[in-house]
Amino acid sequence: MRNGLAKTLSIAAALVVGIGALGGAALFLTTSMPTSSLAAEKTVSGKVVYRERIALPPEASLTVQLSDVSLADAPSKVIGETRIESVQGSPIPFAINFDMDQIQPGHSYALQARISAGDTLWFVNDERYAIDPENPGEPAEIKVVMVRKSGDEGAAIGIEGKDWLAEDIQGGGVIDNAQTTLTVSTDGAVSGSGGCNRYFSKATVTGENISFAEIGSTYVQCPPALMNQERKFLDVLGKTRSYKIDMGKLVLFDDEGKEVARLAQSL
């Protein structure tokens, strides 16, 4: 009897020790699992809308990007992207997963959207949709505008009737907070700020060709850096011979087809 009881107690003790060991091992594995990748993952969601009631081609797709747009003199850095195939109507919901480890304190971020069919761009946002990736808030609503007519005719966003803000001049960026602007009216009248002085001119626009007549301006003395940027910008306008709208940005080219300035639509 005593031997049987001793065996029973020994088996029970072994089971308790075994279970305790397994529990300890499980606890160790749970607390030691890498969680940083899960914690660093975040999602920005929203919808893309357009007002036109048209049928998109079957191959139409939506691409939405979360980009770091902090550097005016460098291409935007894509932090996250999503692509939705076979889109057929507005609104189009989207969600972008991204790694919070790529978010830098003090940087600026924005959402960009475009709808394409093959190599043809149909819709694009022409306004900046700034977003705080750490605290996105309500789902974003991105409005895109049509850049192609449904009848297979190209139709670029016009340069006229919009206020444009310089983001880059001759590859050298721009001075922060310097409002260097350009407005071309439908009658060709040109006005804007060089960052210091107001200027005025007349533009001749034919398709994607554009040229500016002699430029006049006010004359106010500003800090040397501002005056230098203003001179560069007005010189660029004098050399401009063509333009295009690239992802909602106005790009100016000289007579050799070289990019001399890039501007965004002023909000």
> Residue 217's closest CA among 199, 240, 191, 238?
199
Per-residue buried b or exposed e for 102-120, using 16+ beta carbons within 10 Å of the residue's own CB: ebeeeeebbbbbbbbeeee
Name the token pair of 151. 């009848």
List domains and CATH numbers for the chain. Answer: 40-146 (2.60.40.2990), 163-265 (2.40.128.270)
Q: What DSSP string runs through 38-63?
A: HHHEEEEEEEEE-----PPPTTEEEE
- What does the block give as tokens for 245? 């709208």
Residues 224-254: pLDDT tens digits? 999 999 999 999 999 999 999 887 789 999 9
pTM of the shown model: 0.45
Partnered with residue 253 across adjacent β-strands are 242, 259
∠ Cα 194 225 192 (to 5°): 5
pLDDT per residue of the chain (267 residues) written in tens, 0 to 9: 444 444 444 444 444 444 344 343 333 233 333 444 445 788 999 999 988 777 778 888 999 998 888 776 556 788 889 999 988 888 999 999 998 888 888 888 889 999 988 878 888 888 888 888 888 888 889 999 887 544 443 344 578 888 899 999 999 888 877 889 999 998 899 999 999 999 999 999 888 899 999 999 999 999 999 999 999 999 999 999 999 988 778 999 999 999 999 998 875
* CA geometry: angle 241, 158, 242, nearest 5 deg: 10
pLDDT at residue 92, rounded to an integer: 92
